[in-house]
Every structure is written in structure tokens, then in C-alpha cells.
Chain A
Amino acid sequence: MNGQYASLLIALPLISAFFVPLIKGAGKNAIKSYLVLITALQTGVAAWVFQEVYSTGKPMIVMAGGWKPPVGINLYIGHFAALFVLIVAAVSFLMAIFSFKAVNVEPIDKYAMLFLLLMLGATGMIATGDIFNLFVFMEITSISAYALTAYNKTGEAAEASMKYIVLGGIGSSFFLVGVALIYGALGTLNMAQIAQLASTLNPTVAQVGLALVVFGLAVEAEIFPLNAWAPDAYQAAPHPITVMFSAFVVKAGLYAMARIVYLMKDVGSWSSILKLLVILATLTVIVAELAALRQRNVKRMIAYSSISQIGLIALAFALGTQSGVDAGVFHMINHAIVKALLFLAVGYVAVALGGAEMENFRGLGKRMPVTAFTISVGAIATVGVPLFNIFWSKIRIILATLSVGYTWAAALVLAASVVEAVYYFRLLHVIWFEGTGERMHENMAMGIMLLFLAALVIVIGVYPSYAWNLAQKAGNDIFNVAQYVKNVPLMGVGA
């Protein structure tokens, strides 16, 4: 089949979101089923793209409008994009099913549209090969995220969304100024051409432009000084949306950051940007872990834990070596699975028992054994116990950090892991050894989804080589810029 059909990844969610107003009258369950159907279709397309890219080993270049880059905009679906587009679609599919139980606030038709567009935005951010188009997709992602954060219409949700919208607005305007500066200096917006011309860039311009772009993306990517919105937003958003935030929205921001930083590899002031990123990433890990320690709300606690894991990924990307990037991508995959599992389970408990406070988790092991079991798997995996998937990626990140010589960063991150273990084991203690209760009915569909994710965690933990292979290929896609430039069929404009 023609590679251009990969553009369906963008076209399908878009046309389906525009279609929702027409079936608005069909009732709540019809709209929710429609959401499941569309996300299932999207997963199918993504699986086809994944299969195609990994079997041929060549990226798919979608040229919108038939114009060759840099005149037109191209999508670059290489190993990384193919893998994460599949993760985005699959997680969205699971969350569409979860929405049946978790979302009962009106208006459901608007929820369905925003849900689809959030998925679209993340897909576009990961797939695009043009820096201004990246901005457009980032806006799609973040504006639908603002609206979805406030969707529950409580005071808390409105406040969280307000924080997010102000920080996000400042971040994206900085990003835009950065893009303008880079365009002003180079005269092109195409990522491949930017990478080609990066060495000719004036070092001051490059430093300012790159810093602005990184600063703008850091809001989406939840890097330390700019992530204050995240725990509030995670806590206040509808449960399926929290899963999507943690499983792929933040990953899209992180990936975009890594991609742009590595495009500018030839710039003179590159290493100073990396050093700054290492410091910020380490701070992200430590601050988030310490904040998680004293949370009484389990959803908020896991939100902080998610931020600290993101810091770990950012650290891996900021090392500037092949092994670091590979480890970062591997951690991205593992974190997407584990955090989807944890937020899904906690969200389910909150729906069933009315709130995610620590008290509700007392005796959960006796009341909802399947959910409690999967929470335990997720918690143990996050801490990084061997035979669970995160162990492998964490150890690779730490080894990569040590090999570059950042011993202090590795030590601090490891110390933060101890803190993580403390609060996760406290949660496990509350679940299994405190309180009593009658056994409750657990929903079948939920149980299957939870067990499926838990099984993934353990399978990757026991046989990490397949996932590690995927991660290496995807990491190479980010790190090996020369190959990236070679893959994009640039026409000889101005060069």
C-alpha cells in the first residue's frame, strides 16, 4: 500500500471529531461507542504503519499536498514516530472504553470531540517534520488539554486549568518567538533542512533560539520550574484524561524537545544547553519525589511520581549520547505502560468508591482484589524491582549517566528512587495489611484491561530484549540526525 496513506493517522481523528455534532442527538452511549470505534480504527491504522516501518526499516514520508519539503510540510514517520503513534492510539482506545464508566458529566459530545483532538495533537506532534507545524500540533494538544482539565467543572478543576492555561500560553509564545528567530536566521522551517544548515548558524542566535524553544516545550514536557500546573491538572482532570496526559501528552512534548535539541547538534553552544537540561531534569526528579512523599491523595501522589519519571527520561535525553537516548526511549515505553496501568486502576477505584483519598484504599486487597493486585504490580514496577520492566530502563539510564561522567546526577536520581520506594510501599501496606471490607463486584472490561497492562509489565520485565530492540531503533531515529536528513527528500531550494 502507498505510504501516503499514513496521513490517515491525522485525517481520521480529525474528520471523526468534526462528525460528532451530527450524531449529537443519538444519546450518551452511542457517542461513547462511537469513540471506541474510532480509536479502534486509529489503532488499526497505527498498527499497519508500525508493521510497515519496522519491516522495511525505512521511514514513511508523508508529503502534504504533494509538495516536496522544504516547500511543503512533511510528516516523518520513522521508527520512533511509528512506535509512539501506536502507543498513543492504543492508550486512547483503552481510555475510550474506560470513559464508559468514568465520565458521566455532560456534555458528552464535547468530551468526545476534545478526546479525539487530544489524540490527534499528540500524534501530529510525534509525526511532524516541520518546526512550525510542530507548534500548530502543540497548540491543538495543549488547548484541548486545557479544556479537558476543566471538564469536571469543579472549582478545583477550574483553578488547575487556569494555572495550566497561563503557563502553557507563556510557554507557547516563547516557542513561537524561538521559531521566528530560527526562521529569521535560516530562512527555512523544515527540520531536516534546519539540521543541514545548523552549523552555519550564528552561535548567539542559535543559543537564544534553542533556549526559547526548549523553554516553550518544557511546559508541556513538565520540566522542573515549569511543571507546577501538572499535579493539579492530573488530579482534577477526568480519570481517562489523566491517563492520556501521563501516557502520551507529556511524551510528545519530551520527544519534540529531544528532536529539536538533537537537530541543533552542530551548533557551537550546544553543550551548554545540554548541561542546563541535565540540571533541570535532575531537579525535576528530586523535587517531584519529595513532593510525592507527603501526599494523602493517591492520584496526586502518582501524578508526582509520573513527573519524576519524566525527569528521568529528560535526563537520559540530555546526556547527548546514543546509549542515553536509547535508554530514554525505553523508559518512555515502560513508563507509558506502567503509568497507564496505575492511573487506570486508581481512577477505577476513585469511580467505584467515590474519591482517590488514601482512606478509600484501606483494605482494597480484600474489597477489589484484581484492581489491588494490578496497582501492586504497577507500584513495584515503578520503584524498579528486577523482573519488572522499569528496572531495565532505569538501570540503563543510570549506566548511561555514569558513562558520561555525571556521577552526582546518577547518585541523586538513585537517592530519589529510595524516596519513591518509601511512598509506594506505604501505599501497598495500606492496600493489603490495613482495614477490612466485603468483596465488591469488579467490572469485567476493567479487569481485562488492567490485567492486560499488568501482563505487559511483567512480560517486558522477564523478556526485555524485544522492547529494548524497538527502543534502540527508535532512539537511533532521534540520535542519528545525519540519517534523518538523508531520509527526507529535500528538493534543492536555496541550498
Chain B
Amino acid sequence: MLKRSLAILTLLIIGYWLAQGLAGVPFGQDRMLVGHYYLEHVKEQTGAVNAVTAIVVNYRGFDTLGEVTVLFIASTGVAALLWRKKKKRSAKTEGSVVLTTGTRLLVPFVILFGSYIFIHGHLTPGGGFPGGATIATGFLLLYMAFTTYEIPHRGFEKTEGIAGMSYVLVGLIGLGIGGYFLFDWIWQTWQLGTDNIGRLFSGGFIPIIYILIGIKVGTELSGIIDNMVKEEVSE
């Protein structure tokens, strides 16, 4: 009781203190120092209609590269900690017919929609991370409905590595062509799709990177699911 009330008191003090700080940043005021620049120049500088993806992949692409790495570490870490010589699915009951048939019908659509999201990252809301997560949901469905389903590990791990390397490679090509790491060479040097803004073949390297991220995130999250649902088999 004493512990709990002390905790509540401390939290209230911290909350009050934070509120004091927040009060110094009035809501609704224009604080877009850099923001205006993005909004005004996003179309001609990156070719993307979706300003968020343009900022995330192009202007501040370095952060996205980092976030992709964070996810990669998470999946590698889970794999390292749950590593056993022999592992097997331990599910006991097969899903009902409705579940398995439903999954069979649904999974292709889930994967199609996921691909749609990451391919159209520069045009519609979404991008590589939501698209990849959607694809992983498809695999999660398969795991939940079938007791023996397993992703093809070798292929998945290699795809994940290749997608990550290609992202860095796209950046390094930018370093070679434009002189800067992660330079958008497709848009700024080749000027591909400049008269095509708002359509699929535009947006410089944003769609390419988002496809790579989508594949990477999809395989990574599926790998995490795979590691977590399996148990060790004693020999």
C-alpha cells in the first residue's frame, strides 16, 4: 500500500513536471522551421507525392537505414537467443476446416495487398514497414492455421540479407554517381520519370528502396514468428 501510494505520488510529480514543460510548447502554433521546406520542395526534389515517405526515405534516409538495421538486430537477436540444435513446431491441434480453408483463400490476398502497399509507398499512405508487416501477417496466419507449416528458412534468411545489402548498395551507388551516400541518383542524375509525377514510375529511388524494405521486413518478422513458435526437441 505504502509502496503503491509512493509510486503514484512520484508519477504525479513527474507528470506535473512534464506538463510544465509541455505548457511551454503551445499546441497549434506554427513551429515548422524545416517542415515548410519539405512541403514546398518535395515534388520537384524527390518526385514523390507522399511527403512522409519522401522525408523518411530521401531527405532523412539515414534514419530509415538505421531503423531497418534495428529490426534486423531484433530478428537476429531473437534467433540467437532461441537458437537450439533441433527445433520443431509443438502445436497440438490442427485448425478447423473453416480456419484452414479460410487461410488458404486469404493468404494470397494478404500478400498481394502487402506488396501493393510497399510498391505504392511514394503515392499512397504506407510504405515498406506497413507493407512488410502485412506480408508477415500472412505467414502468421499460415502458422496459426497449420500445425506443420514452416517457412523456407534458408531462402528467407538469404533474401533478408540480400535485401539489406541492396539497400546499402543503392546508397553506395549514390556515393559513386552523385558524390553523396544515399544520393537519389535515379531522380537527380538520370531524371527518370520527371514528367510522370503522381504515377507508378516516378519518385526516384523511393519505390526501389521501399520494395527492398518491404521484402526485408516481411521476411524478418516471419523469421521472428518462426523462432518464437518452435520448441526444442530433445534427442
Contact = CB atoms under 8 A, between A and B. Distances in A.
B180 A66 contact: yes
Given A21-B161, A71-B37, A124-B66, A64 B25 contact: no
A359 interface: no
B83 interface: yes
17 contacts: A15-B165, A18-B164, A64-B181, A65-B58, A65-B181, A66-B180, A67-B58, A70-B34, A110-B83, A124-B66, A140-B66, A143-B74, A147-B80, A186-B33, A204-B20, A205-B24, A494-B34
Nearest to B57: A65
A208 B182 contact: no
A494 B36 contact: yes
A2 interface: yes
B9 to A, nearest CB: 18
B139 interface: no
A64 B34 contact: no
A385 B75 CA distance: 46
A405 interface: no
Contacts of B38: 71
Interface stretch (B113-121, B122-130, B170-178, B195-203): B170-178
A111 interface: yes
B65 to A, nearest CB: 7
A205 B25 contact: yes
B164 to A, nearest CB: 3
B231 to A, nearest CB: 15
A66 B183 contact: yes
Contact of B73 (A66, A111, A144, A204): A144
A74 B81 CA distance: 35
A7 interface: yes
A304 B117 CA distance: 50
Interface in A132-148: 132-133, 136-137, 139-140, 143-144, 146-147
A20 B164 CA distance: 11
Nearest to B35: A187
B70 A139 contact: yes
A117 B69 contact: yes
Interface of B: 17-18, 20-25, 31-38, 58-63, 65-67, 69-70, 72-74, 76-77, 79-81, 83, 85, 157-158, 160-162, 164-165, 168-169, 171-172, 174-175, 178-184, 188
Q: For chain A, which range describes its interface: under 10, 10 to 19, 20 to 34, or 35 or more residues?
A: 35 or more
A65 B157 contact: no
Contact of B168 (A11, A117, A188, A205): A11
A147 B37 contact: no
Interface residues of B, dominant DSSP? helix
B81 A147 contact: yes
A74 to B, nearest CB: 9
Contacts of B188: 66
Interface string A105-146: 011001101100100100010000010110011011001101
A207 B80 CA distance: 41
Nearest to A185: B25
Contact of B21 (A22, A63, A65, A205): A205
Closest 3 CB pairs of A and B: A208-B21, A147-B77, A187-B33
B80 A111 contact: yes
B161 A144 contact: no
Nearest to A147: B77
B18 to A, nearest CB: 7
A35 to B, nearest CB: 14
B67 A136 contact: yes
Contacts of B59: 65, 67, 71-72
B48 to A, nearest CB: 13
Contacts of B58: 65, 67
Given A66-B179, A187-B31, A202-B24, A73 B76 contact: no
Contact of A19 (B21, B66, B161, B178): B161
A65 B73 contact: no
Contacts of B66: 124, 133, 136-137, 139-140
Nearest to B167: A18
Contact of A185 (B24, B62, B160, B183): B24
A114 B80 CA distance: 9
Nearest to A494: B33
A204 B62 contact: no
Contacts of A107: 79-80, 83
